[in-house]
C-alpha cells in the first residue's frame, strides 16, 4: 500500500508500479469518483465528503473495499489512499486475514507540505482548490499520519522520499518493494 499526503504522488507511483509488476492498483479516491459519477449508493453517500475534502465515513469505505476484495480475482494489490484511518487499517487486517492475505509493505511517500500543495494546485482536480487542498493536508496529518507508526510497529513500513522527478521516486519505490519481498 502507498501511504502519504495528498500530492505525494501515490496515484502516479501506483500506476507505475502496476506497469512494472503484476499488480492490481486500486485507488479508493478513484473508486469513489467513479461511484459519484455513476450515482451508485456509495457514490451518493460519498459525494459531499469528496467535494469538501473530508474523509468518507469508515463504514462506507470499508463496504466498498470489502466488495472490491470479494470481486477481485488477482491477489496482488496496491492500495493507494487506503487505509486512511486507524479503524480502516485494523479492519483491513481482519479482512486480509479472512482472505489469507497480508500487507507486504506500507510504503510511506513523504513530501513537505509546501511541495504537496504546489503539486495539488498544479493538478487542478475539482477538490484541489487551495482551501480544500490545505484542509486535506490537515486531515491527513490528523487521521492518516498515525498509520505510519501502526505499520512501523507491524514491521511493514518502508520510507520513501517523494521529492524529485517521477522516475527518481519510482526507482525508490521499486527498491522499497524489492526489499520488502526479500
Q: How many CA atoms lie within 13 A of 90 on its CB side?
A: 6
Residues 58-77 that bind ligand AMP (CB under 6 A): 61
Query: For residue 5, what are the contacts with CB-CB under 8 A and spacing of at least 6?
Result: 110, 111, 113, 116, 136, 137, 140, 141, 144
Decide if residue 7 touches ligand AMP (CB under 6 A).
no
Q: Cell numbers at residue 26, please?
A: 486500486
Q: Which of 77, 81, 111, 147 binds ligand AMP (CB under 6 A)?
A: 81
**Which range in 13-21, 52-60, 89-97, 152-160 contacts ligand AMP by CB under 6 A?**
52-60
Q: CB of 71: closest distance to ligand AMP in angstroms?
A: 18
List strands edge to edge, sheet with 24-27.
24-27, 77-80, 2-3, 106-110, 157-161
Decide if residue 92 touches ligand AMP (CB under 6 A).
no
Instruction: Give the sign of the dihedral formed by CA 181, CA 92, CA 111, CA 154.
Output: negative
Decide if residue 6 touches ligand AMP (CB under 6 A).
yes
Could you say which DSSP state residue 7 is in? Answer: T
Q: CB of 182: closest distance to ligand AMP in angstroms?
A: 29
Decide if residue 147 touches ligand AMP (CB under 6 A).
no
Residues 154-173 that bind ligand AMP (CB under 6 A): none
Decide if residue 86 touches ligand AMP (CB under 6 A).
no
Decide if residue 82 touches ligand AMP (CB under 6 A).
yes
Rounded to whole angstroms, how far apart are CA atoms 80 and 28?
7
Residues 9-48 that bind ligand AMP (CB under 6 A): 27-29, 32
Rounded to whole angstroms, how far apart are CA atoms 117 and 111?
10
Q: Cell numbers at residue 172, please?
A: 525508490
Q: Which of 8, 56, 105, 157 binds ligand AMP (CB under 6 A)?
A: 56
Beta bridge partners, 109, equal 160
Residues interacting with ligand AMP, by CB under 6 A?
Answer: 6, 27-29, 32, 49-50, 53-56, 61, 81-84, 88, 127, 136
Amino acid at each position: 500500500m502507498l501511504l502519504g499526503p495528498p500530492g505525494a504522488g501515490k496515484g502516479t507511483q501506483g500506476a507505475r508500479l502496476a506497469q512494472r509488476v503484476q499488480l492490481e492498483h486500486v485507488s479508493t479516491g478513484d473508486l469513489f469518483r467513479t461511484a459519484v459519477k455513476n450515482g451508485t449508493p456509495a457514490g451518493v453517500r460519498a459525494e459531499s465528503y469528496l467535494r469538501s475534502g473530508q474523509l468518507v465515513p469508515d463504514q462506507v469505505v470499508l463496504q466498498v473495499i470489502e466488495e472490491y476484495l470479494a470481486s477481485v480475482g488477482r491477489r496482488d494489490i496496491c492500495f493507494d489512499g487506503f487505509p486512511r484511518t486507524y479503524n480502516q487499517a485494523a479492519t483491513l487486517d481482519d479482512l486480509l486475514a479472512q482472505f489469507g492475505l497480508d500487507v507486504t509493505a506500507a510504503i510511506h511517500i513523504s513530501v513537505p507540505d509546501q511541495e504537496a500543495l504546489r503539486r495539488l494546485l498544479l493538478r487542478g482536480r475539482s477538490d484541489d482548490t487551495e482551501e480544500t487542498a490545505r484542509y486535506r493536508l490537515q486531515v491527513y496529518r490528523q487521521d492518516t499520519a498515525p498509520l505510519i507508526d501502526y505499520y512501523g510497529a507491524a514491521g511493514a513500513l518502508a520510507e520513501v522520499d517523494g521529492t524529485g522527478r517521477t522516475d527518481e521516486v519510482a526507482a525508490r519505490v521499486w527498491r522499497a518493494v524489492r526489499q520488502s519481498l526479500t
